[in-house]
């Protein structure tokens, strides 16, 4: 086990938990690499050296995304960059603990929105596209959930006043989050990797974080 991905809606507290978990690993003499700190990673040049990855993702994108617009092209760029960054980190730091603050499971949430929530990881597994698209999924997925009121409060503190349209988008995302949980459960069942769900509605104690660390090491 050496790679961990965090996912969940914005404002759930993924970064805070990732910070605390990373510190527990460091305190126990592990070297931890965070994707948000990996400025030395150059995914763009990696993609130029592996054009087949661009072609595969582009064909996937054109086939399934309902329409080409600014949002969908932004998704494609994000998907490619995250995929390349994960593959590069695996190659460069394969002996250390890698924490992906944003990975393919997390980005896939955006894909579902662009396809009216029609698709799941299970769908691509059954249609034999899974291994091509999701080669760099992690050893452990941690899904962070949180009370809706707390999420809105955190986002307002972070981003300022939230418009009614934005609140509506957030509530819609929350209502669709069971699909992300289903994806994580399916991934665990077919890959024999680990999936943990953490409720961050209340401040997590050191014991909860340490227990999570122990459970991860047992994989």
Token pair 């965090």 is found at 6
pLDDT mean for each 10 residues of the chain (219 residues): 86 90 94 76 76 82 81 85 82 80 84 80 78 77 89 78 76 81 88 89 88 88
Q: Which residues 6+ apart lie within 8 Å of 199 measured at CB?
A: 145, 146
- pLDDT for position 17: 93
Q: C-alpha angle with apex 20: 17 to 25, nearest 5 degrees?
A: 125
Q: What is the CA radius of gyration of the chain?
A: 17
Phi, psi of 39 (to 5 degrees): -65, -20
Give the orientation angle of helix 177-191 with respect to helix 104-114, to 10 degrees.
Answer: 130
Tokens of residue 203, six digits: 């401040």
- pLDDT for position 64: 82
- pLDDT for position 41: 65
Distance CA 184, CA 128 (A): 18
Q: Which helix (H) or strand (E) holds 32?
A: strand 32-34
Distance CA 71, CA 191 (A): 31
Q: Is 210 left (phi over 0), alpha (psi -120 to 50) or beta?
A: alpha
End-to-end CA distance of the chain: 7
Are residues 185 and 126 in contact, defined by beta-carbon separation less than 8 angstroms?
Answer: no
Domains of the chain by range and CATH? 3-217 (3.40.50.300)
4 SS3 class: strand
Q: Which of 96, 139, 194 is nearest to 1 (CA)?
A: 139
Q: Which residues 6+ apart lie within 8 Å of 161 measured at CB?
A: none
């Amino acid at each position: 086990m050496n790679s961990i991905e965090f996912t969940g809606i914005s404002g759930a507290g993924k970064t805070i938990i990732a910070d605390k978990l990373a510190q527990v690993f460091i305190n126990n003499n592990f070297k931890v690499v965070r994707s948000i700190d990996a400025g030395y990673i150059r995914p763009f040049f990696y993609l130029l050296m592996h054009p087949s990855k661009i072609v595969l993702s582009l064909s996937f994108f054109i086939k399934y995304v309902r329409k080409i617009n600014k949002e969908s092209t932004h998704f494609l760029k994000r998907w490619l960059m995250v995929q390349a960054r994960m593959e590069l980190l695996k190659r460069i730091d394969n002996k250390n603990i890698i924490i992906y603050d944003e990975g393919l499971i997390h980005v896939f949430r955006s894909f579902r929105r662009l396809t009216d929530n029609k698709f799941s990881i299970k769908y691509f597994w059954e249609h034999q596209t899974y291994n091509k698209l999701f080669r760099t999924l992690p050893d452990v997925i941690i899904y962070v959930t949180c009370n809706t009121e707390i999420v809105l409060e955190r986002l307002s503190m972070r981003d300022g006043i939230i418009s009614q349209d934005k609140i509506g988008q957030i509530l819609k995302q929350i209502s669709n989050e069971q699909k992300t949980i289903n994806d994580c459960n399916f991934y665990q069942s077919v890959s024999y990797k680990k999936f943990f769900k953490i409720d961050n509605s209340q401040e997590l104690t050191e014991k909860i974080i340490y227990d999570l660390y122990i459970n991860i090491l047992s994989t």
